[in-house]
Structure 1
Amino acid sequence: MIKFINGTNRNQLPLFASSIDDAIAQDNEIRLIDLFVDSLKLADFGFTFDFVENGRPAYHPSDLLKLFIYGYLIRMRSSRTLEKECNRNIELMWLLKGLVPDHNTIANFRKDNPKAIARVFRATVKMASHFELIGSTLVAGDSTKLRAQNSKKNNFNSNKIERHIAYIDAKLEEYNSALAKEDSDTQYKQIIENKIKKHTVQKQKYIGYQNTIQTTGVTQISTSDPDTRQIMTRNNISEVAYSVQTTVDALHNIPIDFKVTNENDAKAMGGMLRRSKTILGHNHFTAIYDKGYHTGGEFAYADRLGIDVLVAIPDVASHAPDPAFDAKYFIYNKQTDSYICPAKEILVTNGRWYTKSRGKWSNQMKHYKTKACLSCAFFKQCTQNKYGRLIERSEYADLIYQNKVRIENNYETYRRRQAIVEHPYGVIKRQWDFYYIMTKKTIKHASADVGLIFTAYNLRRIFNLIDQNLLKQYLKILALYLRALKATFNAFYDSFFEKLNQISFFKKRNNCSLKSPIFTF
């Protein structure tokens, strides 16, 4: 007869009563989550602690924060799922001490505390730095697109609106023509009139969108989540999404900063470098970026910050009829402020700066040309411009050239970019399946969701890299320090207000002012 392992009788009472703490192993990482949150001074982070006296008491922010960190670490972000887990998950029963918050309470906590959650993320960076997991010498920056709670169908730009209006106009013309021909069938006429009414209402809606774009200067309108934009993700595939700018330290691939935006990468590098300088406390580090960040103005920003950057050089946008005459083969002479072309002719400038606009950004350019072009034997190989070859030099050309030299001298360092910055994205989007934003409406709410994602990621890295006993000891010391600080403050607070009450009583009894020197303390 085959033997099987049998469980205990569900109706049998245990001989020795045990607490829920006995059911949680000492090396269970949920104990680290509990210690981590208890080590934080959440009142300074911006979580709400002041509630009205009347009504049902609120849940403590630390309990809800523990719930979210645990949920994100086990790939659960839904507030309804977390509510269910509070009823059936023994780890959560231990962590929350039997509390079961409503899903609305859970969702509102995340939605209402984006700045406080960002500070919790910074606390993970500070803890990683304490354990020397942050190298602070090499960082890599990039962005990832996280799909928003807004479909492409509910995203509009000027061209799309015009197509919709043109389609409706064609339909209205068709229906009006059919209505004019119909004389006898009253029911059919009513159907057509209803369709005309429906399309007219739709047209007015699109006209309203068009007016909003023209008056506000926005390029897109999203009706479900107003802050989202349709952004190119890869290979000409677009999504209505948020772009999450991230800075990752190279030592252990730990993100030190993030920012949720709805714009592309072109103007993002400078701001992220400034934030990195503040976080690391110095500018003696190198930052690596891909070619999407190759913008003259951003090189100038990095230069003002005193930070060396390695930014990939994009492909040439256009070529000469003969690639041997591409602009990169024109040699610049800084002393004479001129160019020498492959045919050994000298191109000079009149010294004037011209404004070149590209979308909402503009740069100052100098133009270089020579009269020798029109009689040059290589004219047709060099240019298709009937007036001769024109070379433009940006105001940021020197900084762009310096980046090119740095890339050539540090190419092996640049090659590490993907291994550094794509590591968190791979875990978050592929392993954890967090490829979309959970919260709805506005970039502020999206920032809260992303903040919890990166907080969970950093904690996972720290839990994996640091010995658990050492980490527990560190967090316990922090928690003890925080409790001692709180006790000292409460004692001072009680003493202060007791003295203030005594002074107020004395003032009323003797009809004197608190401004009297005798009451100064």
Structure 2
Amino acid sequence: MSKFIIGTNRNQLPLFATSIDDAIAQDNEIRLIDLFVDSLKLSDFGFNFEFVENGRPAYHPSDLLKLFIYGYLNRMRSSRTLEKECSRNIELIWLMKGLVPDHNTISNFRKDNPKAIARVFRATVKMAAHFELIGGTLVAGDSTKLRAQNSKKNNFNPAKIERHIAYIDARLQEYNAALAKEDGDSENNKIITKKIQKHTNQKQKYIEYQNTIDTTGVTQISTSDPDSRQIMTRNNISEVAYTVQTVVDAQHNIPIDFKVTNENDSKAMGGMLRRSKTILGHNNFTAIYDKGYHTGSEFKYANMLGIDVLVAIPGVAAHAPDLAFDVEHFKYNKDNDSYTCPANEILTTNGNWYNKTNGKSITKMKHYKTAGCLSCVFFSQCTKNKKGRLIERSQYADLIYENKIRMENNYEIYRKRQAIVEHPYGVIKRQWGFYYIMTKKTIKHASADVGLIFTAYNLRRIFNLIDQNLLKQYLKMLTLFVLAIRSFFKAFYAYTISYPKLNIYSKKYLTGA
């Protein structure tokens, strides 16, 4: 008798043949993935069902969607990895029914369906709402940076282009001076001429980059992934990346919305609130954001939507020589539109609005000042301006003040922000390792990748929170409904075969069912 456990003989035939379905446990979550995708009428989601009839048949979008959801849930995003797993992973062999799509087919499906994938994500939100996993009373918004497939070396802004051109001009000057000392037919002359040509071509490339920036208004050029931008990520560290805005419901940390951008947070809150209102179906919720979203125009948008926001208040941009004379200590008098300073002087306005530009945005400001400033004993403590203290009041000042009051009265609610919104980022970036964008070329392709990430995250939350048997019953019910509708249109199609105007609608439905 051997003292080791011995495996079975690979060449031995089993006594009882079993199907591949028997190899997959009934509680394996891959069965939930299969049911989830089957419960969706993908033609309504915008997936492409129009394929040429001659040539090799196409893969059904449902099969490729199942493949991607399984891959993302198991930390596999590469199309080549997924292709390989289709032929050796018994779970995928079961899920794909033995199909092994080419990696180009897999990659193109993700790249070509960003809007449809976003609707699949919406389906996960809808399913979470059905099981009352979304409270809809408190949400938190924030962004995370996902690194793009573009190195810093291949990202250019005007200052960087200018440095490259200056370097090339210096080298060209050196090479031309060296060339003047060489004989016309020497070997060294040919080497220098080649270097001059190489640097001249490089200079022309940078000039073209600068012309693109001047004519299109873009601030940066990324050569590998054109829509990506060099963005500050943390502690003055920058990466060429995309910004992913998300809104997360507080009840179970489930994202209800996402949007991929290449801009900072300052103008993002309003649009995300509008979409959240549509998704939740009401505006009776509170949204909490950090200080990066503290922008007057966004408060105006939130007020127009009727949504209460709690946005952290940033520190004072510029301090007075004595902190006791910072602008926060100037009391505004709404009745007569004036300010009272800490020295009890009254600062008044002429009522005119002045435009203040900050990047691309323009904010209207009123100016407040007093003639008593120049004779005030606290002058040197209050300001360094020789003409006296000037207070600016934004057109959004009332809304900013209302947010300040809400923050003071609801700070304990605001403190929940990180625990709510950072939870998905921790899972996605730290546990799953999805800290970069898998796709290249455009922001639409990046959106498809992010859409699959958040679809997988929401499904993981639902699978963990809902009893599997209950979830299976729900998904089977939806699947039967979809099949019933399809059967109806099959019968309708057969009935209307001789009525072209009616038949075209049933045919359109069936080709996407």
Match of 2:507 in 1: none
Match of 1:115 in 2: 115
C-alpha separation in 2, matches of 1:51 and 1:215: 40
TM-score calculated relative to the size of structure 2: 0.97
Q: In terms of mean alpha carbon deviation, does 185-194 or 297-306 score higher?
A: 185-194
Q: 1:34 to 1:368 in 2, by over 3 A?
A: same
Tell me the alpha carbon deviations over residues 402-443 of structure 1, each in whole angstroms, 9 at most, x when there is no partner. Answer: 000000000010000000000000000000000000011000
- Do residues 301 (structure 1) and 279 (structure 2) align? no
Match of 2:310 in 1: 310
Match of 1:443 in 2: 443
Is the partner of 1:258 in helix, strand or coil? Answer: strand
Paired amino acid for 1:79: S
Tell me the alpha carbon deviations over residues 161-215 of structure 1, each in whole angstroms, 9 at most, x when there is no partner. Answer: 0000111111111111111122377111111111111110111110111111111
The sequence identity of aligned pairs, in percent, is 82
C-alpha separation in 2, matches of 1:14 and 1:205: 67
C-alpha separation in 2, matches of 1:50 and 1:170: 57
Q: Shift of the alpha carbon at 1:501? A: 9.6
- Do residues 286 (structure 1) and 289 (structure 2) align? no
C-alpha separation in 2, matches of 1:327 and 1:478: 59
Q: Shift of the alpha carbon at 1:492? A: 1.3
C-alpha separation in 2, matches of 1:496 and 1:291: 61
Which structure 1 segments of 5+ residues have no match? 504-521
Match of 1:151 in 2: 151
Match of 1:52 in 2: 52
Match of 1:218 in 2: 218
Paired amino acid for 2:398: D
C-alpha separation in 1, matches of 2:336 and 2:215: 47
Paired amino acid for 1:369: K
Tell me the alpha carbon deviations over residues 257-287 of structure 1, each in whole angstroms, 9 at most, x when there is no partner. Answer: 0000000000000000000000000000000
C-alpha separation in 2, matches of 1:72 and 1:104: 17
C-alpha separation in 2, matches of 1:98 and 1:498: 38
C-alpha separation in 2, matches of 1:501 and 1:254: 45
Match of 2:420 in 1: 420
Tell me the alpha carbon deviations over residues 449-506 of structure 1, each in whole angstroms, 9 at most, x when there is no partner. Answer: 0000000000000000000000000000000011001111221122122345999xxx
Match of 2:202 in 1: 202
Q: 1:376 to 1:28 in 2, by over 3 A?
A: same
Paired amino acid for 1:449: D
Tell me the alpha carbon deviations over residues 326-360 of structure 1, each in whole angstroms, 9 at most, x when there is no partner. Answer: 00000000001000000000000000000000111
Is the partner of 1:239 in helix, strand or coil? Answer: strand
Q: In terms of mean alpha carbon deviation, does 315-324 or 181-190 score higher?
A: 181-190
Is the partner of 1:375 in helix, strand or coil? Answer: coil
Is the partner of 2:221 in helix, strand or coil? Answer: strand
Q: Shift of the alpha carbon at 1:372? A: 0.3
Match of 1:339 in 2: 339
1:114-513 map, 5 Å: 114-183=114-183, 186-500=186-500
Match of 2:101 in 1: 101
C-alpha separation in 1, matches of 2:49 and 2:494: 18
Q: 1:348 to 1:45 in 2, by over 3 A?
A: same
Match of 1:515 in 2: none
Match of 1:511 in 2: none
Tell me the alpha carbon deviations over residues 373-419 of structure 1, each in whole angstroms, 9 at most, x when there is no partner. Answer: 00000000000000000000000000000000000000010000000
Paired amino acid for 2:379: F
C-alpha separation in 1, matches of 2:37 and 2:398: 49
Q: 1:304 to 1:8 in 2, by over 3 A?
A: same
Paired amino acid for 1:329: H
Question: Quick check: 2:496–2:502 contact (8 Å CA) kept in 1?
Answer: no
C-alpha separation in 2, matches of 1:322 and 1:189: 67
C-alpha separation in 2, matches of 1:340 and 1:441: 55
Q: 1:356 to 1:61 in 2, by over 3 A?
A: same
C-alpha separation in 1, matches of 2:424 and 2:500: 54
Paired amino acid for 1:104: N
